[in-house]
Structure 1
Amino acid sequence: MGKKDASSDKQPVDQYRKQIGKQDYKKTKPALRATRLKAEAKRSAPGIRDIILVIVAILVFLLVVYAFFYLNLSTELDLDVDMD
């Protein structure tokens, strides 16, 4: 009895999968190929978000280096002025 109940639970899922499969077969092969290539390109291409994060990281690094040198040079100049 348990086997009958278990098999009836899977039946709607199998019907749904078959229905999806039939819809895929209705598409032409070039359309399926184009869809597959588009999905692969989307997975392999770096996203805009990744590019923006790299650019922001570089700008922050340059800002920190600039601030470090600015603060070091400005304190040295102040000391030179006070000594005169």
Structure 2
Amino acid sequence: MGKKDASSVKLPVDQYRKQIGKQDYKKTKPALRATRLKAEAKRSAPGIRDTILIVVAVLVFLLGVYAFFYLNLSTELDLDADMD
């Protein structure tokens, strides 16, 4: 018996959500389509953050290559100076 009584009373949150859903259906199809396309474009467009991360990654890689060659050449020069 308790379940029947509890299910008949709707929570205010559920009523609010139902009202929002009804208002959303009142929008025209072109407006809904435009909103969906705008959201998809925003998700798929590469942002400034992604570009900055790629540039930083390339710079770190180049710095690593430069450091590798610098350290290899400097140790070879030091060994040549010690032999003389």
Q: Tell me the TM-score normalised to structure 1 length.
A: 0.72
Q: SS state of the match for residue 76, structure 2?
A: helix
Distance 1:74 1:62, change over 3 A: same
Give the % identical residues: 90
Could you tell me how far apart the structure 2 residues matched to 1:60 and 1:5 are? Answer: 66
Distance 1:70 1:43, change over 3 A: same
Q: SS state of the match for residue 54, structure 1?
A: helix
Q: Which runs of 5+ in 1 are unaligned?
A: none
The 10-residue stretch of structure 1 (49-58 or 30-39) with the greater mean CA deviation from structure 2: 49-58
Q: CA RMSD in A?
A: 2.3
Q: How does 1:68-83 map to 2 (within 5 A)?
A: 68-83=68-83
Give deviations 1:43-75, integer Å, cap 9, x for gaps.
223343333222222211111111010111112
Give deviations 1:14-34, integer Å, cap 9, x for gaps.
322221122213323222111
The 10-residue stretch of structure 1 (62-71 or 3-12) with the greater mean CA deviation from structure 2: 3-12
Q: Which runs of 5+ in 2 are unaligned?
A: none
Question: What is the aligned residue count?
Answer: 84
Deviation at 1:76, TM superposition (A): 1.4
